[in-house]
């Protein structure tokens, strides 16, 4: 039981990190210069 609780809490932490990463990524996409740099790097 304790192991399950620990796994759930770890999973929630990971989810939280993923959400934060997505949020940052969305904010970065709003910056035109960064968008250009990203698209250039992706083409290489």
Question: Could you tell me the pTM of the whole model?
Answer: 0.54
Please classify residue 38 by burial: count the beta carbons closer than 10 Å to its beta carbon, then call 0-12 exposed, 13-18 middle and 19+ buried: middle
Domain that holds residue 29: 1-42
> What gap in Å lies between CA 4 and CA 35, rounded to an integer?
41
Please tell me the predicted confidence (pLDDT) of residue 43: 73
> What gap in Å lies between CA 29 and CA 7, rounded to an integer?
33
pLDDT digits (tens, 9 = 90+) for 1-37: 899 999 999 999 999 999 999 998 888 778 888 777 7
| Total structural domains within the chain | 1
Contacting residues for 20 by C-beta, under 8 A, at least 6 apart: none
Distance of CA 12 to the CA centre of its chain: 14
């Amino acid at each position: 039981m304790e192991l399950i609780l620990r796994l759930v809490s770890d999973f929630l932490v990971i989810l939280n990190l993923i959400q934060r990463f997505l949020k940052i990524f969305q904010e970065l996409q709003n910056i035109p210069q960064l968008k250009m740099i990203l698209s250039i790097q992706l083409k290489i």
